[in-house]
Homo-oligomer: A and B are copies of this chain.
Amino acid sequence: MALRYAILTALLDEEHSGYDLARNFDHSLGFFWQASHQQIYRELKKLSEQRFVASHAVAQEGRPDRIVYSLTESGKAALDDWVMGADKLRVLEVRDEFFIKLYNLHNENLNHIQHSLDLRVECMRGRLALYEKIRERRYSQPEKLSLRRQGVYLSLMAGIMSSEVHLNWCEMALQLLRERSGKLENSKTGAENKQSGRAGAASPA
Contacts and interface: CB of A to CB of B under 8 A. Distances in A.
A2 interface: yes
Given A94-B93, A95-B95, A148 B33 contact: no
Interface in A97-144: 97-110, 112-113, 116, 119-120, 123-124, 142-143
Interface stretch (A38-46, A50-58, A59-67, A84-92): A84-92
A88 B97 contact: yes
A119 B99 CA distance: 27
B92 A87 contact: no
Interface in A24-40: 26, 29, 31-34
A158 B109 CA distance: 20
B87 A109 contact: no
Interface stretch (A15-23, A165-173, A187-195): A165-173
A72 interface: no
A104 B9 contact: yes
A93 B165 contact: no
Interface residues of A, number: 72
A32 B104 contact: no
Which of A99, A124, A142 has the most B CB atoms < 10 Å from its CB? Answer: A99
Contacts of A108: 80, 84
B119 A87 contact: yes
A185 to B, nearest CB: 14
A68 interface: no
Interface in A157-197: 157-158, 161-166, 168-169, 172-173, 176-177, 179-180
Interface string A1-16: 0100110010010000
